[in-house]
Amino acid sequence: MPVSLVESNSLLAIDIGSVNTRAAYFDVVEGQYRFIGMGQALTSLAPPVKNIAFGMQAAIEALQQVIDKQLIDDNGGLIVPSRAEGGVDSLCATISAGDTFRVLLLGLLPDVSLKSVESLALSAGAQIVDAISINDTRSQNEQLDAFLKSKPDLVLVAGGTDGGATLSIQKMLELVGLASYLLPQEKRPALLFAGNQKISQQVRASLKNLVSDIKIAPNVRPVAEVEDLVPAQRELADLMIGLRQRQMPELEDLRSLSGSAVLPSVYNQGRMVRFLSRYFNTGRGVLSVDLGASALKMALAFGDELYSYVFSQYGMGDPLSGLLAHTEFDELLRWLPLALPGEVVRDYIYQKSLYPVFVPTSSEELVIEQTIARHLLQNASYQAVAKLPARHRSRSGLLPAVQPILASGAVLTEAPTLGQKLLMLLDGLQPAGITTLAIDQNNLLGMLGAVAEQNSLLPVHVIDSGALAYLATVIAPVINNVNYGTPIVRAKIIRSDGSQNETEVKMGALQVLPLEGGQTARLQLRPLQRADVGLGPGRAGEVEVIGSALGVVIDARGRPIRLPSEAERRRELLTMWNNKMGA
C-alpha cells in the first residue's frame, strides 16, 4: 500500500441497519489507523420518510459533534475529499436494512447441489420459499405453478460438476425461463447460476432477457465431494444489492460517493471473520455473533473456510412476534432467575417486537430481555453447529474449538455490567475448552469488512489498537456424569509480576482469577474426574493467558449446562451464578 495512505487518509464508514444507522470515522494517528468516533441515528426507512439518506445524514451530523469536525457542507452534502474546512478522504458503506429477500432454489440432487444453494441462501439471510430438484415428485405444471405462486425475488441454480452432463440442468433452467416469461416485467426474479461452468455462457444468453438480473458464479460443487461457496457468496451479495437499489435508489448515490460496492452487512461481517481467522492464526476457528433487532447472525471461519448463518427468526425486534411459534416457552423460562408470571414475559416479548428500540426500564425488564437473549443464542448455536461439516462438529453437539468469540448487538454491548455480558454469552453459546470472549462494543466488524474492500491495512491497525473489548479468557471443562459439588479442576495462575493464585473448582461453580488488562500469566490446569479442559480428557497442561476486564474465568458448570428441573432450585442456582459474576 502506498505510504501516503497511511500518512493522511481519513475514512467514513456507514452501516445502515434495520433500526439504527451508524457512521464511524477512522483517521491516522501517529502513523497508525485508529477508530476515532461514532455517530448514530434511527434508520429512515419507515413511512412517511422511506429514504435512508435522511438517517445517514443524521448519523453523520451526530458524528460531527463527537469528533468536533465538519463533515457535511452547508448544502447537506458530504465533503469528499477532505479540505481545509473539514470533510473526509474516502467513504464505504454496508447495509442490513430492508425486507428479507424471497429465494427459490433449483438443484439437481437434494443432498448435493440443492443442499449447497440452500447453504448459500441461508448465509445471506434469505427466505427460502421453495426448492426444486431432479427428484421432485411434482409434475412440470405443478412446479411451474409453485414457482409463480412463491413470487421469488431471486432464483439460485446449481447442479452438475464442471465439464459434466448438462441435459438435466438445462431442463430445470427451461422452467426458470418459462416462469419468468409469464410474470410481469417488474415481478421477474434475478438469477444466480452457480453450476456446471460448461453451460454458463448458454445460461446467460438464454435467460438474460427473461430475468431482471443475472450473475454467473463459479460452481459451488466443482466436483461432487467438494463444496466451495465463497466465490458465489460475493456474486450473490452483488445481486442482492442490485435488487436493494431498486427499492432504495439513494443507494446508487452512496455507491458513487464511495467508489466501491455497497455490500450486505452479513457478507462484510463474514469477510472480516475469515480475515481474523487467518490473522489470529490460533489453529482454531473464529466465531462472530451479532444479536441484532432483525436477525441473529453467526459467522464461523477456519482459515479460508467460512460458514455464515443468518437466523431471521431470532432477532431481538420484530421477529420476537413469532418467537413462540417455533420455540418452547418453558425452555425460555428456564433461564429466568426471577419468579415472574409467564404473562409478564409474554407481554414484554410482544412489546419488544412492536418497539425494537424499547430499552428496559426496570430490573425485571432487564432480566427478561437478557433471558430472551440467552435463549436465542442457544437455539442459534445448536442449529449452526448442526449445519457445519462433520469435520468441524463434536460428538456432543457443542461449538467447535474457537478462539476468540466476538459478540455484538445492543442487548450484549449495552448490558449494564461486564458480568451480564459474559454470562449471556456463556449461557447462550456454551463454548467448551479454552477460549477468549470479546465484545465488539461499537459494532465495527461489518464496517471493517466493508473498509477492507478499499484499504486492507486499516482493519489490522484498528483491531490491534484495542477496538475490541476483551471480557475474559474462559476455561470450560467438559465432563459427564459428575454431581454438583464434586471437584473437577485445579488451577494455578502465575502472573508475570510473580504473584500467583491457586484454586480448586467444583462442578457447578464459576471461579474468577483476576488478571488485569495488559498483564500476562501462565495458567496451570490439572483436571480431575477425567474432565477435558481443552487439552484432552484428563490431560493436564499449561497455557499462556492475557489479562482482560474479568481476567480468567473457570466455568465448571458442565457442557451442555444442565439446569435443575425444580423451579426454585433452578432460580437459586441462576441467582448464585449472576452474583458470582457481578451480574
Per-residue pLDDT reduced to its tens digit, 335-345? 999 999 999 99
Q: How confident is the model at residue 261 (pLDDT cuts 50, 70, 90)?
A: confident
Domain hosting 275: range is 268-580
Question: How many angstroms from the chain centroid is the CA of residue 305?
Answer: 15
Listed as own residue / partner, the contacts of 244-249 with beta carbons closer than 8 Å and 24 or more positions apart are 244/95, 244/98, 247/98, 247/99, 248/45, 248/51, 248/52, 248/98
Are 422 and 535 in a shared domain?
yes
State residue 4's pLDDT score.
44
DSSP secondary structure string for all residues of 212-225: S-EEE---S-SBTT
Cell of 246: 431498486
- pLDDT greater than 90 at residue 552: yes
Taking CA atoms, 386 is separated from 193, 400, 418, in Å, by 27, 11, 30
Count of C-beta atoms within a 10 Å radius of residue 562: 10
The answer to whether residue 261 is domain-embedded is: no
Handedness of CA 214, 215, 219, 221 (dihedral sign): negative
Cell of 394: 463434536
Domain boundary among 50, 68, 95: 95
Are 206 and 303 in a shared domain?
no
Are 241 and 272 in a shared domain?
no
Are 450 and 480 in a shared domain?
yes
Are 15 and 164 in a shared domain?
no
Are 139 and 84 in a shared domain?
no
Greater pLDDT, 46 or 35:
35
Are 160 and 55 in a shared domain?
no
State residue 1's pLDDT score.
38
The answer to whether residue 145 is domain-embedded is: yes
pLDDT tens column, 317-340: 999 999 988 888 999 999 999 999
Q: How confident is the model at residue 374 (pLDDT cuts 50, 70, 90)?
A: very high
The answer to whether residue 253 is domain-embedded is: no
CATH code of the domain covering residue 213: 3.40.50.2300
The answer to whether residue 449 is domain-embedded is: yes
The answer to whether residue 252 is domain-embedded is: no
State residue 456's pLDDT score.
86
Amino acid code (one letter) for 430: Q
Round the average pLDDT of the chain to a whole number and report it: 91
Domain boundary among 95, 116, 132: 95
Task: Identify the bridge partners of residue 191 per DSSP, sorted by sequence position.
Answer: 155, 214
Are 415 and 553 in a shared domain?
yes
The answer to whether residue 259 is domain-embedded is: no
State residue 356's pLDDT score.
86
How large is the C-alpha radius of gyration of the chain? 25
Q: How far apart are the first and last CA of the chain?
A: 45
Question: Can you give the pTM of this predicted structure?
Answer: 0.90
Are 452 and 536 in a shared domain?
yes
Greater pLDDT, 485 or 166:
485
- pLDDT greater than 90 at residue 7: no
- pLDDT greater than 60 at residue 368: yes
Percentage of the chain beyond pLDDT 70 is 98
Are 223 and 125 in a shared domain?
yes
State residue 253's pLDDT score.
86
Are 309 and 386 in a shared domain?
yes
State residue 6's pLDDT score.
57
Are 294 and 231 in a shared domain?
no
DSSP letter at 105?
Answer: E
| Secondary structure of 161-174 as H, E, C letters | CCCCCCHHHHHHHH
- pLDDT greater than 80 at residue 69: yes
Strands of 170-284 (E only): list them: 190-193, 214-216, 263-264
pLDDT tens column, 95-137: 999 989 999 999 988 889 999 999 999 999 899 999 999 889 9
Q: How far apart are CA 243 and CA 95, in angstroms?
A: 13
The answer to whether residue 83 is domain-embedded is: yes
- pLDDT greater than 50 at residue 363: yes
Q: How confident is the model at residue 377 (pLDDT cuts 50, 70, 90)?
A: very high
Q: How many structural domains are present in the chain?
A: 3
The answer to whether residue 75 is domain-embedded is: yes
Domain boundary among 95, 123, 139: 95
Strands 469-476 and 433-439, bridge-based pairing:
antiparallel
Instruction: Please give the average per-residue pLDDT across 161-174, as a whole number.
Output: 86
CATH code of the domain covering residue 57: 3.10.20.370
DSSP letter at 398?
Answer: P
Instruction: Please give the average per-residue pLDDT across 62-75, as a whole number.
Output: 93
